[in-house]
Amino acid sequence: MESVRIISGSAHPQFADLISKAINIDLTKTTCNKFSNGETSVTVGESVRSKDVYIIQPTCTPNVNDNIMELLVLTDCVRRASSRSVTAVIPFFGYGKQNKKEKSREPITGKLIANLIETAGVDRVISMDLEASQIQGFFNIPVDNLYAEPLIVKYIEKHYKGGEKVVISPAVDGVKRAKLVSDKLNCDLAILDRQSESDDMILVGDVKGKTALIIGSTADTCETLALAASVLKNRGGATKVYALVSHGELSGNAIETLNNSELEELVITNSIPLSEKSKACSKIKVINVAPMFSEAIRRIIHGESVTAASSKFVIL
């Protein structure tokens, strides 16, 4: 794989290191700093001329805007260094929630970010569990959207044995994701619906006496998950409540909210680096998705089908 270079931004170097080791390609020496006035500065310490470059950089908290800017500057850097192609590996796509106009005079920032990434010179994007499927259409370049569902199902089968289970969608627009998991587990599906910012949720389905498994895309402040757990346990009669989501942003008072909730566990992936405070929380468990990204990169390098059937990952 002499024609391949892997570059890590400063957002999640541990994730980049896991990918690098999995596909046996050393990380390219790169320095990411800031000038005294706050501007982003990057330097690539090795030649990337005529190489296929993979830049690993989730655009996530705590410095979303800085991480996006760093990705753009890194792309421009390797483009000007005559790289053959640039693939942006974005485990978590920031601004994905802003993917449509909910009301007048509101931007579609997800589309804006896609435009910036393309304009910078990215040829391909690899991400995971995009907030909405239409985000793929924001780009005019190939977008491989990996899906964590197989790994989540395996985690459930390994750690939550025994007892009757029910899969919960914490929102109406997340039913498709939850149904994929319920079908694999061969169990019932229930739906929770929260009206705007109200402190109540409508439960559709039977959870009494069952272990409830909330399947979602992102855990941000954890307020919705905490409310869902309370409704499921106190009103629905669920015996235990677990939440399994693809991305753990865990911003604001998320850890305090989680610790005070009825949730037994919050299972997330390592698409976003955990803060020291989050690492200390006993309720948080992490699934490693780096092997899934490594396999996707390996297939792209060798010109294999990324969507071929595989027990390692699924693409939607």
| pLDDT one-digit tens code per residue, 155-172 | 999 999 888 999 999 988
Q: Tell me what pLDDT residue 308 has.
A: 59
Main-chain dihedrals φ then ψ at residue 55, nearest 5 degrees: -100, 120
Q: Tell me what pLDDT residue 2 has.
A: 86
Contacts of 247 (CB under 8 A, 6+ apart): 60, 92, 128, 129, 217, 218, 219, 268, 269, 271, 272
Contacts of 118 (CB under 8 A, 6+ apart): 139, 140, 141
Q: Tell me what pLDDT residue 53 has.
A: 98
Contacts of 187 (CB under 8 A, 6+ apart): 164, 165, 166, 167
Q: Smallest Cα–Cα separation from 223: which of 187, 183, 194?
A: 194
CA distances (Å), origin 127, targets 45, 131, 313: 26, 11, 12
Q: Tell me what pLDDT residue 315 has.
A: 46
**pLDDT tens digit string along 49-64?**
999 999 999 999 889 9
CATH of domain 4-147+290-315: 3.40.50.2020
> Would you call the peptide bond into 62 cis, given omega within 30 degrees of 0 as the criterion?
yes
Task: Report the SS3 class of residue 243.
Answer: strand
Phi-psi region of 173 (alpha: psi -120 to 50; beta: other; left: phi over 0): alpha
Domain ranges of the chain: 4-147+290-315, 149-287
Q: Tell me what pLDDT residue 285 has.
A: 97
Burial of 234 (0-12, 13-18, 19+ CB in 10 A): exposed
Q: Tell me what pLDDT residue 48 has.
A: 97
Number of H helices and E strands in the chain, helices first, is: 9, 15
Asked if 11 and 24 count as a contact pair (C-beta separation under 8 A), the reply is no
Q: Select 149-287's CATH number: 3.30.1360.120, 3.40.1160.10, 1.10.357.10, 3.40.50.2020.
A: 3.40.50.2020
Q: Do domains 4-147+290-315 and 149-287 have the same CATH topology?
A: yes
**Tally of residues, the chain:** 316
Task: Report mean pLDDT in 10-residue bins for the chain, 316 residues.
Answer: 94 97 96 95 96 97 95 98 98 94 92 97 97 93 94 95 93 90 96 82 94 96 95 95 97 95 97 94 96 95 77 48
| pTM of the model as a whole | 0.93
Relative to beta strand 314-315, strand 143-147 is: antiparallel
**Residue 297 is which amino acid?**
I
Give the neighbor-by-neighbor strand order of the sheet with 201-204: 201-204, 188-194, 165-169, 211-219, 240-248, 265-269, 284-287
